[in-house]
Structure 1
């Protein structure tokens, strides 16, 4: 999302709280970081990118201590790990050959071990400065830098307990990774000062942040335990301040707080005041006041456990959130949708496959069917409250809406549609049938976390650089990469060292393959032959062939184009999984333009508000034909996948808006099983999500935005509709309507058993003019369902006159379903 989105929703965003900005002024620049005057220039030559503190060299005494430790251990100390630090996890042992392709400093380090910067990890020494130096070293994108892809970093924590006395700040494009075998602890010192142990977006005096929250992309924190128990009970302590946007994730995290029922307990595990995410999974919260105090436009939370908290989840505001496999035990209140009393700022929540136990009130809401608007929409699906939960849903001030001590198959509050007939409702409903192909033995929707390969030795990883690929953004790596994939053994895992790999012809990937990227390496369609013809599109990465069955696991990769490649299908996915969810993508992103190396930046493809809508689009500013194609026989599991055509610049100063034409986002034809958790597809020309001839599709949550420039020109340019890929024929569909030929957020055609739980589909501009967002008429249509059996829960759209069309006719209007910012439907069944 871009700054103007905040302006559109200013009234709503004003409701969020800026966490003690004044009291945090002294801590705006954490220990080990340096603030510089505005306009400073980083090492990479990016205006406004401030230089972090350089790594502190070890003293002679420290070097001697290291040598003594080495001799005592009887081992050999490497540059990044010692025998005292390692658990045997491959991540710590693998050779680090990754390079930041477009960073001008040839000595820039992508991988940083906090021990190399002086961190001790014994729970006694204060490691704050050392860790923050590991975060900042190399002139990274910190305070005063809006964004940068040229200063990426992995900050690795070996096993240990790291005492910290001030916030740890992960800079833009950072991954904080703890050891997955012996998970390290970040322990707040008794005198800790600052907003949070990990602060992903520090506050400045006056209330501004380092980064615009809705543009705070590309971050991971995983495999860490955060311990607040040494802090005084009444200290307003936070584990992680996570004010972020897309391509971000928290995973395998534990938040340990004071287990004290006293009202003096002020500790919180997770704080989110705003933003536009995002994905979180495998989180555990123990103790505290409010375990997760959250607010953001949209987010997906899967697999989280809350024990002994005053309140498990407090949702202050949102547009739409999806929560699956949530376990709440021995808390006073499970989910609070009304922390501000009768003023209902929560748009909608969908809660699936969850258990609440030993908790007096599971959910608190301010919703009433008699209210104006659909604020406070809630859908429960397969939520077990049978074990000592007296009240399942409580209204204000303390009315019982739904009694507890039961298993709720389906509950809906909000506007519910059966075809075009709608009514406001609040109550239990018959369960929605679940296709057997999509559920596990317990009847829950299948979910699967990203593999850490804890038992796989580093020797099983095949480095593509060691195999001959350059990854330098200049060399053609097609042959080298194909050679790697053609010679794999069953025990191999393909390892993409960080870099930029140019591909000038289709890479055929086998149907049994595991791929791990180091900090989102780039695979870029390039050249002037293979991918230039939109009439004859070709895949860049082709995973398997039609009819193949196998196991595919891909994680932490970015696919893109270098310059215009209008005939490129970035990823074609053909493999049917040998088991449910055994063909999967985790943190695999698609990113077109807006960053160094793409040749599709603001110096070439700057958005021009006064452009002639009748003029032919600039052929130099075309992206790809399609980002992801899932073919009919394939199954796919996707988690935290962002298909983004850049609407603004990431690397050239100014974050200026762009006009880049990319044909399609996701085209899905799968019939055997598709699971999409926390996915987004934005700014494509024809459609963001196209589901055709498909069966057995589960989505929770999806997010889209219409291309900002549309109207100048509209979606009829520059891509010719191709019936092979089920493109809309907007000449036939739209007639003379000036706002019809726009990106479809979601099209479902000739499909069955399509289940959608949570969607935020937004149109914010007409020809880059945001006035239409105030009047909710930026485009005519957003969701099309034709000849299909679809069940949707928690559908939110913005500024589309028709939220849903059914077989070409209006089925749901935005005007009938107004919410906090969007129009919201609790349930729609075609």
Structure 2
């Protein structure tokens, strides 16, 4: 349930009163805490604990707007005066898990579910050189959206620190950081971090530093004299596209890949010695069309460059007129009573359509349903407050021969419909008669900040006329039996289903995470482009399971595998069939990353995708281009630092991108991986 930090907990927000105790009391109560416009002065850390002092998850800060809601640290605080002993203003945490992954001292762990921060500014004040704006830990589907972190005098350790175990998968979108030694500082070898629409400026050491983790970035704007991006560990991986990096020093490169794997595309720099340095060697040129730090992998003759599918921004719909909102409680759906809420939720949706209203609100708490809920008509947005939707004990999702969805989108009249901030959750085990969401409309559907981790046989399915689908920060499988255009940002395929299927569609993915034995299959002439992801082999995986299957289709893939034991890895990484011939790229073919592996770039396609038609809708038509480049641009092989040839040119399998010391670096890592396998 959403609570108001002013009216429910007596925070003042006047820029004078100390609101630390009031805010921490609000956070301790759990759920989503709303901060109306105001400046909330604090003198100590805002931390994710309950009233008894135990670290907790499932807490979120929701500001009224980034411009008007400010949490400000008092100036010159002794506790924030030592840069060697950093202390955060906002500090999120994991739920205790009862195992070694959880640290009761720091709140580090891998159960930091749903921790989110929206529409707020964090100001670390003046004279606080030990300050961290946000020490952020989130797992599976946490998000930071439309947030600014700033230092009043430029001093501080980091704007956003993600160094405790174990950050991600999570999404940072629309985030600005001003000042600090590091704008964003990421560590740990798991679980991957996705960033989009990021602005960094006035850092002292680097805009973004990655130690060990798997990071994917799109649309980074940096104004810095220091490197905008540094990858400083040999097990770290960064995939970055569509970046503008300015203000640089002639002594350094904009992107400094000290060690690790780098995939970079559409990078423009100014003021720096070059756009990229790799493994200690500066790569000439201020622009990068496409660069891969290590060998490009393929099994059939393929253009040695990524697919460059057309990127569309996720549609955003807001209706601030509350008279256009319908609350399901007014129609008999009551959270927490354990009763069936299907009728109440459906009545609210039907009432909205009847009166031409746009938004259905399902407040926080637990709701229960026994049958399909149909979203239709004028409804443009279904919004929760990190609300749980569970099944009743007498639910009707029991027919394995004819499965049906919990939610179905159909007969919509608006251009788009968005569903956000829900967890569709059930612990009953595998339910062969249940799917989570069915897309049965040609209208665009947006799923944001939600999980579908039920025991369903399929998370998200579609019908033949399904329109565009956008995923942002979503847990669930995609079992799309019909062609569909999909743009996914931070997609966590961690559900009961073991295979996600792209049948003749076009899928663009920024950030992908799996656990255990999961397969992403592209077939029927489909297109799949993966830009950064982590395969987490945390259990033994059968030798006949492939992480990726390309069946007479087109893929390009950048990812890394994480493994926590010597017997836990994918034997088969990419199984590709072309012209009836099947080949498989296996564990031993790839560069080592501990017990896991790196895939700097895999290409498996014959021709570049067709150009996107203006106004193109759903269905099977693929598209080209990348967010920062014109859709009709052609790839002439990129800058001198790439191994890609002209469009359509087929370079040798395992073509090497030799840029300065890149080949030597690859040999060193390859030697390390050989020793580790032995």
TM-score, with length taken from structure 1: 0.64
- 2:453 maps to 591
| Superposition deviation, residue 293 in structure 1 | 1.1
The residue aligned with 2:341 is 477
1:434 is the counterpart of 2:308: yes
Q: Counterparts of 2:278 and 2:150 in 1: how far apart (Å)?
A: 30
SS of 1:180's partner is: coil
User: Where do 1:797-816 residues align within 5 Å?
Assistant: 798=563, 799-807=569-577, 808-814=582-588, 816=590
Change (3 A) 1:433 1:217: closer
Q: Quick check: 1:796 aligned with 2:658?
A: no
| 2:115 aligned with 1:219 | yes
Correspondence for 2:62: 177
Q: 1:821 to 1:575 in 2, by over 3 A?
A: farther
Is the contact made by 2:304 and 2:603 (CA closer than 8 Å) also made in structure 1?
A: no
Which has the larger share of strand?
2
In the TM superposition, residue 117 of structure 1 has moved relative to its aligned partner by 2.3
1:131 CA drift (Å): 1.1
Instruction: Classify 1:511/1:802 alpha carbon distance in 2 versus 1 (closer, same or farther; 3 Å).
Output: farther
Residue 300 in structure 1 maps to residue 194 in structure 2: yes
Q: Which runs of 5+ in 2 are unaligned?
A: 50-56, 81-86, 97-101, 564-568, 605-678
The correspondence for 2:387, drawn from 512, 515, 521, is: 521
> Which residue does 2:496 correspond to in 1?
684
**What do the CA deviations read for 1:66-101 (whole angstroms, capped 9, x no partner)?**
xxxxxxxxxxxxxxxxxxxxxxxxxxxxxxxx5xxx
Q: How far apart are residue 291 of structure 1 and its match?
A: 1.1
SS of residue in 1 equivalent to 2:323: helix
Of structures 1 and 2, the one scoring higher in RCO (CA 8 A, sep 6+) is 2
Matched, 1:554 2:409: no
Task: Report if aligned partners of 1:800, 1:814 keep a CA contact under 8 Å in 2.
Answer: no
How far is the alpha carbon of 1:405 from its aligned partner? 2.4
Alpha-carbon displacement from aligned partner over 1:525-551 (angstroms, at most 9, x marks no partner): 435462112222111211116x98841
Determine if the alignment matches structure 1 residue 497 to structure 2 residue 357: no
Shift of 1:816: 3.0
Compute the displacement of 1:693 (Å). 2.7
Alpha-carbon distance change, 503 to 112 in structure 1, aligned in 2, over 3 angstroms: same
Matched-pair contact (CA < 8 Å) for 1:202–1:210: no
* Inter-partner Cα distance in structure 2 for 1:749 and 1:430: 21
Counterpart Cα distance in 2 of 1:484 and 1:825: 48
Structure 1 residues 361-760: aligned runs within 5 Å: 361-367=253-259, 376-385=260-269, 387-395=270-278, 397=280, 399-400=281-282, 402-406=283-287, 408-419=288-299, 432-435=306-309, 438=310, 445-448=311-314, 451=317, 453=318, 456-487=320-351, 488=353, 489-510=355-376, 512-528=378-394, 530-544=396-410, 550-561=415-426, 563=428, 565-577=431-443, 582-592=444-454, 623-634=455-466, 635-643=468-476, 665-669=477-481, 671-687=483-499, 689-694=500-505, 696-706=506-516, 743-760=517-534
Among candidates 28, 40, 43, match of residue 165 of structure 1: 43
Q: Following TM superposition, by how much is the alpha carbon of 1:666 offset from its aligned partner in structure 2, in angstroms?
A: 2.0
Contact 1:349 1:794 in 2 (8 A): no
Q: 1:319 touches 1:760 (CA, 8 Å); kept in 2?
A: no
Distance in 1 of aligned mates of 2:413 and 2:557 = 31
Could you give the per-residue CA deviations for residues 289-346 of structure 1, whole angstroms, max 9, x where no partner exists?
Answer: 21111124201111110122224444342342110111011331110112xxxxx344
Which residue among 272, 280, 301 is the counterpart of 2:162? 272
Alignment partners' CA distance in 1, 2:339 and 2:93: 36
- The 2-side partners of 1:575 and 1:389 are apart by 49
1:341-399 Cα offsets, whole Å, 9 max, x none, are xxx344311101111112232111234xxxxxxxx1111122222x33321112455x3
Cα gap change, 1:251 to 1:200, in 2 (>3 Å): same
Q: 1:352 to 1:675 in 2, by over 3 A?
A: same
* Aligned equivalents of 1:225, 1:310: Cα separation in 2: 21
Deviations 1:11-65 (A, max 9, x none): xxxxxxxxxxxxxxxxxxxxxxxxxxxxxxxxxxxxxxxxxxxxxxxxxxxxxxx
Helix, strand or coil at the partner of 2:228: strand
CA–CA distance in 2 between the matches of 1:366 and 1:821?
22
Q: Deviations over 1:130-175 (max 9, x none)?
A: 21122224xxxxxxxxxxxxxx422221211111111001342111
Query: Unaligned 5+ residue runs, structure 1?
Result: 1-97, 99-109, 138-151, 339-343, 368-375, 423-428, 439-444, 593-622, 644-664, 707-742, 767-771
Please state whether the residue corresponding to 1:132 is helix, strand or coil. helix
**SS of alignment partner, residue 806 of structure 1:** strand
Following superposition, the deviation at residue 756 of structure 1 comes to 1.0
Alignment check: 8 A CA contact 2:263 2:292 kept? yes
Would the aligned equivalents of 2:95 and 2:112 in 1 still touch at CA under 8 Å? Answer: no
SS of 2:21's equivalent? helix
Higher Rg of the two aligned structures: 1
Q: Which residue of 2 aligns with 1:85?
A: none
What is the deviation of 1:113? Answer: 1.9
Deviation string, structure 1 residues 764-820 (Cα, Å, up to 9, x no partner): 223xxxxx8xxxx87753222211111112353641112111125312435532124
In structure 2, distance between residues paired with 1:395 and 1:632: 46
Matches of 2:435 and 2:222, distance apart in 1 = 43
RMSD over equivalenced CA pairs, Å: 2.9
Q: SS of the residue aligned with 2:295?
A: strand
- Residue 676 of structure 2 corresponds to none
Residue 462 of structure 1, CA deviation: 0.1
- Distance in 2, matches of 1:281 and 1:494, equals 24
CA contact (8 A) 2:170 2:490 kept: yes
TM-score in terms of structure 2 length: 0.77
Quick check: 1:257–1:267 contact (8 Å CA) kept in 2? no
